[in-house]
Every structure is written in C-alpha cells, then in structure tokens.
Structure 1
Amino acid sequence: MNQMNTQTVQTEEHQNRYNLLQQLQTGRKKNKLSNSITADQKLGYIKDEENKPVDDTVDSFLSHDHDNVDNTSTPFMNLRSRSNRSNKSEHKGFTFEEVSCLHSCKSKVLSCHFSSDGKLLASAGHEKKVLIWNMETLDFVRTAEGHSLLITDVRFRPSSTIFATSSFDKTVQLWDSAKPSKSLFKLVGHAEQVLSLDFHPRKTDLLCSCDSNNEMRLWNINQRSCVHVSKSATKQVRFQPRPGKLIATASGNVVNVIDAETNKPLSCLKGHNKEVLSICWDPSGKYFASISEDSARMWSVSGGECLHELRSTGNKFQSCTFHPGYSQLLVIGGYQCLELWNPVESNKTWTVEAHRGLISSLADCLQTEMVASASHDQCVKIWK
C-alpha cells in the first residue's frame, strides 16, 4: 500500500480561475473576463508530454500527442444542479477544481471507472494491472497481471466490488476488488483486440463487450458464456443508465442504438466526419453524447436526432462524460486540457488545463459528484 495525500494547496492557476468566476457573478464586463483568461492560459502550466516507447501493436487507439491550442474559457452561470447537496451552498457559482492527483504507475493510463457508491476508483492501461483506489484514504492496491497485453477498459459491476477488464489480448476478465490477487475468471471468444465493455445497470449478470473487428458480444457472467454475437460495435459500448433498455455503440464514424432486449438495431446516427472515440449517457438516460477528435455531438434518444454539435477549435477530442452534479454539462477530454460544454448556453467551452498528455478516459460518480480523468501522462486526477 502506498499512502497518498489529497492535494489541498490551490495552485495560482486555480485561484485565478475562481477569481474570474467571482468577477462574473458581480457583473463585471465580459471583456475583462476574456483578458484574464488569456493571461491565465499563459501561466505555462502545460509541458511537453514525456512519451514512453509504445508497442507496434498499439496504433491509433493510443496516441494523438499534438500541441495544445489556446482556447477562450467560458464559465457557466446558469447551470441547474442535479441535487441540493450542502456543498452547493458553499459556492455562489459553478466551480471545477482539481481535488487529487493519483500517480502510482510508470505507464499510460487508458481507462478509469468509479464504483457505484464512489468509494473505489479503478484505473488501468499499459501496465496490464488494475489499480484500485480507496477514495477516502487514497491508498491503492494492484491486481495481479492477469492480462498479457494492455488493458483497454475497466468497469465496475453496479452496486458491487466486482469489476471487469478488456484487453488487447482478446479476453475479458472478471475481478473482485476485495480479493485482487487473482482474477475470478476469463471470458474467451473474441478473435480480435477487445476495446470496450460495460455491465447492464439492472441485469448485473449481463456484460457487453466489443472488439476491433466490429463484433459485439453479450455475456452471461453467471454462466460464463456468450449469449449473443452481432456486428455493431468497435470502439466503445455503453448501456443506457437505469432501465438499460438500450445500448449505444461506436462503430467507425457512426453511433448505433441497439435494443438490449431483442438485440435489434434501432437507429444508425450519422454526422461525425471522423471515427467516434467515446460515448457517454446522461444519468437520466434520455440523451447521450458522442466524441470524435474534431467534434462533440449530443443526441436525443426519443427522436434519434442530433440536438447540439460542438466543433473542435484545434484540441483533438478523445473522451467524454456528463458532469454528475449539473444537467447537460459535458466534460470533454482532449490533449492536456478538459473542455466543459453546456450546449444550452452556447457553443463556447471553458478550458481547464489538466494533464501533460492525452486525456484518454473520463468517469463520473453521482454519489460524490466527482469526475476522474485518466491520461497518458501516467496520472489519474480527481475533480469537483
């Protein structure tokens, strides 16, 4: 066990950003905000990423290491909180600050996910092991090296200490974070690299996974067997929250919506010019977002239409998640920066300097209203 302390000292950058929010709330002119943001972005926080050699088998799934682009930040003043938690009254306006930086590996981190109660955070990537973080103490334990190649995705089973991992070694493995020394069992059947997986929110014995050959498999983990195979997902698979009636999948530059009960495709949503890299559902399950490196789109589930689109102004998008505390606020991970987008207000984003490398994965926790970001800079950061 390593002991890591929560970072409590605000950096000059964070203090400047908080001051900007306070200025906006007291009615100062927008041009003052713009000038301050520009100065803030010149603080020199971002440094070049120190790249590690990567296996030849790890291609476009892993790296878009490009220079950061100086974007104008726009704090959000009209966001509606999802809850009346006491911490909301501590700030007069919206804040988004780094709480902790978790750094315990020497390899790129590709995925992270919170347990349902928010007490645990799992992260994984090139190291071929999963790090399980205790969110109260920030202690961590490592699993055994169950996979022979890098881990592409990690997801907790709802309301459980059980989690699953997918890997370039073409397998899916199940683990218990309470007993991480050995995997519980392995699911074999994919013929290519497994890139993503997810648990059904209610039928927690049902697991979905997809591989680089556009094959999606549904597994019954109690029976340890595959119950359905289809051609509909390559990059990512995500069940609709709560009822779990739908599955959103990324395949090339389209998003597929599939009936999880009948396994029949319901819609094929087009609009992205480049490959869809990430999908995330709003907690209500009424709409979801999709990310390609040049754009972000928000879709209506009922209408099957694109409600909002955000074009990248230079920073190549990679990952996304909805903020757990505010409705329709999308957090987008790119190269070194997080971009917060509230499409109801405008197509401008608030840019937050976050990492020294590509932000490969984002996760949110409804219980604690925290967001986690995993990066190629070997760190996982916690935000609130």
Structure 2
Amino acid sequence: MKITFLLALLLPLGLAHAQSQPAQSVLAQGPTQARLSIQTGAPVLALAYSPDGKRIATGGQEREVVIWNAQSGERMMTLKGHTDDVVTVQFSPNGRFLASGGVDNALILWDAITGDIIRKTTDHTDYVRDVAFSPDSRLLATASWDGRSMVWETLSGNKVATIDKHRDNVTSVAFNPSGTEMLTASGDKTIRAWDTRTWDQKYALMGHTDEVWDARYSANGRYVVGGPGTTRPASGRSTANG
C-alpha cells in the first residue's frame, strides 16, 4: 500500500498577490501553489520542515522517521529506532537536531545531519504526543498521554523539569519566541504557562469546555491560540470566546 501526501508551496508571486487582496477574494480565486507529491508505505502522522526549508521530516505508521528533500521529494535518510507509530517530529531551531515521539512511549533525539540516534528516552509511561525545542535549541520538551510534560537539556540529556500539574493527558507543548515561557495543553480543558527559569506556573487559561489538543504562541509572543476555539493574549485575558 502506498500513501501519498501533497506539500503545498506558496510561490512568491502568489504570496504577494494574497497580501494585496482580502482573504475571501484570494480563496475564491484558488491558491497559487506548486505541489510536491511524496509516496509513503503507510499513513503519515507527523511532518516538520527544517529551519532552512530544504528538508522535511515525516513520521507515521511505518514506525520510522524519514527525511525528504523538500525540492525534489527524494528520500534522503530513513531513521529507525521507534517500535510503534511515530506521532510527532520536530527540528531544532539551529537545524542540528531532530526529535521524535511515538506510541512506544519513546522520545528520540537524532543528529539531523547524520541520522544517528543521540539519545533515546523512555521516561514516559504512555505515548509521547508532542515535542518542542526552545528557541535557542538548548532545551527539549515533551507532552505525553501519561499526564506529564518533561524538559531536558538537549546536549547533556539532564532532566530539568517534570510538570505533572494537569489532571489529564498532556497533549501539546510549545515555547514562546523568547524562551521565557512554555505552554502545555491538556485533556483537562486547560492551557498552562510555565516560567522556564523556575518552572513555576505563571497562569492558566480556562476558556475551553472540552479537551485542548494544541496550543501555540503567536510569532510575536503576545497571544496564545488553543484548539479548539480560543485565542488569548499571553497575559491570560480572553480576546475570543471558546
């Protein structure tokens, strides 16, 4: 069985065109896109671009991480180390590392250049749903179905924090652009922000009425978006109803 996924690359002309018109007008005309089709042997569950945009990492039900050339679609490396589905992959901001998490409860840190395993961690007791690097690539964090988020020093592997304040699975983890805060989202319907110097909780966002599956900061760090349904300033004051 072959599975095909399409990568939509917005061309410079299309981007300029989109910025000059209302969104509804652009959508009505259809996107200006080049598509790259890549075939895999099983469904893809995770995808990430390298910081320079030249490589794509995928993970899925083949239980491996694959690095692709983002221009040609050529398979560059196949990284084997997981023993079950891979559900999250992420490049470090400096492009040197790649992290992946899976249903095998494992976090694997890879050398993104050679494909070698630097470290495999199985501290979680349920699957690792999300991973995130700090903006300076010095920290690596996880979100796990076991209800915990863990944070390690990327190079040394020393664990610097274990966050277990959620009352349900932890579904998402993200650092703000300055690296001073880290978000966790949870099935307990909350998003919580943590001070990355002390790992104390800074605030909690309570606007959701169901499980929160993802939470991210805006590019300027001023807002937090949680899915489904709520957009809030990073101070915690709501700007949209969840």
Decide whether aligned partners of structure 1 residues 133 and 273 sit closer, same or farther in structure 2, where only a CA change above 3 A counts: same
Cα distance in 2 for partners of 1:257, 1:148 equals 32
Secondary structure of the equivalent of 1:276?
coil
Residue in 2 aligned with 1:117?
Answer: 52
Cα distance in 2 for partners of 1:216, 1:267 equals 16
Residue in 2 aligned with 1:282?
Answer: 218
State whether residues 112 and 153 of structure 1, in contact with CA within 8 Å, keep that contact through their aligned partners in structure 2. yes
Residue in 2 aligned with 1:222?
Answer: 155
Deviations 1:132-164 (A, max 9, x none): 222232322342321001112111111214210
Residue in 2 aligned with 1:210?
Answer: 143
Decide whether aligned partners of structure 1 residues 239 and 89 sit closer, same or farther in structure 2, where only a CA change above 3 A counts: closer
Aligned pairs for 1:1-384 (under 5 A) are: 88-90=15-17, 92-93=20-21, 94=23, 95=26, 96-180=31-115, 182-202=116-136, 204-232=137-165, 234-241=170-177, 243-252=178-187, 253-292=189-228, 296-302=229-235, 304-309=236-241
Structure 1 position 127, deviation (Å): 1.5
- Structure having the higher strand fraction is 2
Decide whether aligned partners of structure 1 residues 301 and 128 sit closer, same or farther in structure 2, where only a CA change above 3 A counts: same
Structure 1 position 285, deviation (Å): 1.0
Structure 1 position 86, deviation (Å): 6.9
Secondary structure of the equivalent of 1:237?
strand
Cα distance in 1 for partners of 2:222, 2:118 equals 34
Q: Which has the larger radius of gyration?
A: 1
Cα distance in 1 for partners of 2:217, 2:126 equals 26
Decide whether aligned partners of structure 1 residues 198 and 7 sit closer, same or farther in structure 2, where only a CA change above 3 A counts: closer
User: Where does structure 2 lack aligned partners over 5 or more consecutive residues?
Assistant: none
Higher relative contact order (CA 8 A, sep 6+): 1
Deviations 1:270-295 (A, max 9, x none): 12121111122211111121113xxx
TM-score using structure 2 length: 0.82
Structure 1 position 103, deviation (Å): 2.9
Structure 1 position 300, deviation (Å): 0.4
RMSD between superposed Cα atoms in Å: 2.4
Decide whether aligned partners of structure 1 residues 197 and 232 sit closer, same or farther in structure 2, where only a CA change above 3 A counts: farther
Cα distance in 2 for partners of 1:119, 1:219 equals 27
Decide whether aligned partners of structure 1 residues 235 and 178 sit closer, same or farther in structure 2, where only a CA change above 3 A counts: same
Query: How many residue pairs get matched?
Result: 223
TM-score using structure 1 length: 0.53
Deviations 1:68-107 (A, max 9, x none): xxxxxxxxxxxxxxxxx77644554254454324332132
Structure 1 position 260, deviation (Å): 1.4
State whether residues 149 and 184 of structure 2, in contact with CA within 8 Å, keep that contact through their aligned partners in structure 1. no
The one-letter code sitting in structure 1 at the alignment partner of 2:223 is Y
User: Where does structure 1 lack aligned partners over 5 or more consecutive residues?
Assistant: 9-84, 311-384
Secondary structure of the equivalent of 1:280?
strand
Deviations 1:15-44 (A, max 9, x none): xxxxxxxxxxxxxxxxxxxxxxxxxxxxxx
Identity %: 23
Cα distance in 1 for partners of 2:120, 2:65 equals 15
Structure 1 position 255, deviation (Å): 0.8
